[in-house]
Homo-oligomer: A and B are copies of this chain.
Amino acid sequence: MQDLVKGLLQKNNTKIIFLVLDGVGGLPLNGKTELEAAHKPNLDALARESACGLHMPVGYGITPGSGPGHLGLFGYDPVKWEIGRGILEAMGLGLEVKRTDIAIRCNYATIENGIIKDRRAGRPPTDKMKKVTERLQKEIQEIDGVKFTFGAGMEHRFAVVMRFPNTLTPEAGMINDTDPQSEGKPPLPLLPKSPKAEKVAAVTRKFIDRAARLLEEDNIPQNYLLVRGFSTHPQMPTFTEAYGLRALAIATYPMYRGLARLIGMNAPAFEGDFRDQIDYLKASYNDYDFFFLHFKKTDSYGEDGNFQEKVKRIEEADRSLPRILALNPDVLVITGDHSTPAVMKGHSWHPVPLLIKSPYVLGGVTSGFSERECLKGELGIMKSTPIMPLALANAKRLKKFGA
């Protein structure tokens, strides 16, 4: 599909905005879903004149993580373009991952006479380990021409990105975890499963040795490290390659910026509330064709099982909508990357309400923006990946297929 779309692209000056209300889809509590319970006159009015439907990032019954959810929204088949665990961890900690990089997840561990005593090193305080990680970063900047970047995580967790001089193929990441998955065993030896992974394995062994010596000096229980989830950049086509769009991501959480950067969007570090995000959207409006505006709080409260707060966050987004509409984008897509029903306290497999505002829609089919109303919509229940072709078509950026 992406190949077909690529062959039909044509340039124009249209603007496309994707407003992603993270985890917006829900389930009823006392008969009403979060979207149905929310007072959201702007979203409802927009839904009445827009193309509506529901979309599934992966498929019926499959609960997507944030990575697959967003990849689907951006038209990348999330089953084809799987993002490694090391990359996800690194991105979540704000590290950048490029096509030259290997990303890994690390645990501080406690070792005694070569045997792992505690795989999580006593779940040490985050603050303490942050300092330890900073020291590792200071002492280990480069090994054999490979640059090291560290990201401190929660408790015993951290991530490392190793930047090689040249672009790496997927085989370069074919290396096993060293975590034996239970205590009382020695760490597993690092073994490349492909000749192309040998250099990576050799550098990682040196890294583990050097880090372990530094940790020993501190005389703390966190005297060793286990590595997992070796990942290379998935090397999917960039957003510009795939769609000819200059894209800007406006997201406050590092994870989403990382995802956006993976597909070549510009995603500058950003702090502020949703109001600030829209200010930034306005300020950047002339410089890009496509804007990914990420609203996180709907998901956070869904994960917490806080139905009422999720409802309030939907209402907050609704109040901001006129400021986005004032920009008069050619195409405005409003949806989530997955559902996060508060009653389930987590992501779910349920199709996500979707709205596409453009001059070229039927409209007049739904009475508002909700799961049950979107079911009546002109888009039906669809996979997520065709949302991008639809957005491009509505922006008149696709030529006719065949004569």
Most buried by B among A61, A67, A392: A61
Q: Are B63 and A393 in contact (CB under 8 A)?
A: yes
A62 and B394 CA atoms in complex are apart in Å by 10
- Set of chain B residues within 8 Å of A62, measured between Cβ atoms: 4-5, 8, 389, 393, 398, 401
Q: What per-residue 1/0 map shows which CB atoms of A382-393 lie under 8 Å from chain B?
A: 100011111111
**In the complex, chain B residues whose CB is within 8 Å of the CB of A386:** 59-61
CA distance A364 to B27 in the complex (A): 11
Chain A facing B: main interface SS: loop
Q: How often does this chain occur in the complex, in copies?
A: 2
Instruction: Answer yes or no: A375 CB below 8 A from chain B CBs.
Output: yes
Cα distance A245–B273 in the bound complex, in angstroms: 47
Please state if A33 and B400 are interface contacts (CB–CB under 8 Å): no
Residue on B with the closest CB to A56? B386
Given contacts A59-B389, A62-B4, A62-B398, contact A403 B88 (CB under 8 A): yes
Q: Are A360 and B380 in contact (CB under 8 A)?
A: no
Q: What B residues does A364 contact at CB under 8 A?
A: 28, 31, 372
Complexed CA–CA distance, A64 and B378 (Å):
19
Interface contact A58-B401, CB-CB below 8 Å: yes
Contact A402 B64 (CB under 8 A): yes
Residues of B within 8 A of A27 (CB): 360-362
A326 interface hit (Cβ, 8 Å): no
The one of B28, B390, B399 in contact with A362, judged by C-beta atoms closer than 8 angstroms, is B28
Contacts of A363 in B (CB 8 A): 28
Bound-state CA distance A387–B63 (Å) is 15
